[in-house]
Copies of this chain bind each other. A is one copy, B any other.
Amino acid sequence: MPDTEMILIKETYLNSDPGSGNMIILKEEPNAKRYFMMFVGDAEFAAIAKEKGLVDPQRPLTHDLYLRILEKLSVNFIRVEVHDVKENTFFANVVFTAEGKEHVVDSRPSDAVALALSRKIPILVNEKLFHRELSQEEMQEFEGLVKSVKF
């Protein structure tokens, strides 16, 4: 039995900044104080931004290619889970069924989130990976961050 709870994510925020890089912030609800944050590469950031309708790349991204292939196949995506962290690297699973069997595949969280947004399946994050409630000062900084997001 896991001794931590998996939290259902309702909000995905993006922020890109030349100094700090590409950031994805996940929250259980807009007003929630705790949050999950990860840094991602350019291609993964683009994939998530595209799924949120923030950019419209002219050519299919890697995700798009495979999602178009998967559309032709019998597969049901169930959920993605960001479940652990080791040496500052987050770990996620993609859960799906095919031919009556459930499969769990290891994934980077950025790919899992892009896939989940595309297929409209739940994103769950282990509560132990959330940042604690922010102080007043941190909150101001975080609010600035959220306001700087382009949507």
Residues of A within 8 A of B (CB): 41-44, 47, 58-63, 65-66, 68-70, 72-75, 89, 94, 96, 98-99, 101, 103, 105-108, 111-112, 115
| Cβ of A85 to closest chain B Cβ, rounded Å | 12
Ordered by A's residue number, 16 sampled pairs between the chains whose C-beta atoms are within 8 Å are: A41-B43, A42-B42, A43-B62, A58-B89, A60-B106, A61-B108, A62-B108, A65-B107, A65-B108, A65-B111, A65-B112, A66-B66, A69-B70, A72-B75, A72-B101, A74-B74
Copies in the assembly, this chain: 2
Give chain B residues whose Cβ lies under 8 Å from the Cβ of A70: 66, 69-70, 73
- A105-B65 contact in complex given A98-B72, A98-B73, C-beta closer than 8 Å: yes
| Cβ of A94 to closest chain B Cβ, rounded Å | 7
- A105-B69 contact in complex given A42-B42, A43-B43, C-beta closer than 8 Å: yes
Give chain B residues whose Cβ lies under 8 Å from the Cβ of A59: 89, 108
